[in-house]
Amino acid sequence: MPAESIAHRLVNAFFTHCHECDEPADPDCHPRAHWRLYLDLDPETLVRIRRWALDPASHAGTEAERTILLHWLDAQEA
């Protein structure tokens, strides 16, 4: 699977539930930012995704997939 597809799959997984309240996602609960349209994610959301990917308790893919996601996040922040 291409690296970009892995990153997009994990970002989609991030948005499937709210990491503030641990409940299923509510579209108004946190910024969703239309990332699928390749618009910039807001900086706060990038930080939250990074924390989620680095959290040892997270079930965010494999270690290799999380590494790909972190590289993708670095590129988004550049």
pLDDT in tens, 29-64: 555 544 444 446 778 888 888 998 898 888 778 889
pLDDT in the model for residue 61: 82
Give me the mean pLDDT over the 57-74 stretch.
87
pTM attached to this predicted model: 0.63
Q: Is the pLDDT of residue 78 over 60?
A: yes
Question: What residues have CB less than 8 Å from 70, skipping those under 6 apart?
Answer: 50, 53, 54
Report in angstroms the alpha-carbon separations of 49 from 12, 63, 65. 10, 15, 13
State the DSSP code for 37: G
Domain extent at residue 21: 3-77
State the DSSP code for 35: G
Question: Which residue is listed with tokens 């494999």?
Answer: 62
Positive or negative: CA dihedral 57, 43, 45, 37: negative
Q: Give how many domains the chain has, as a whole number.
A: 1
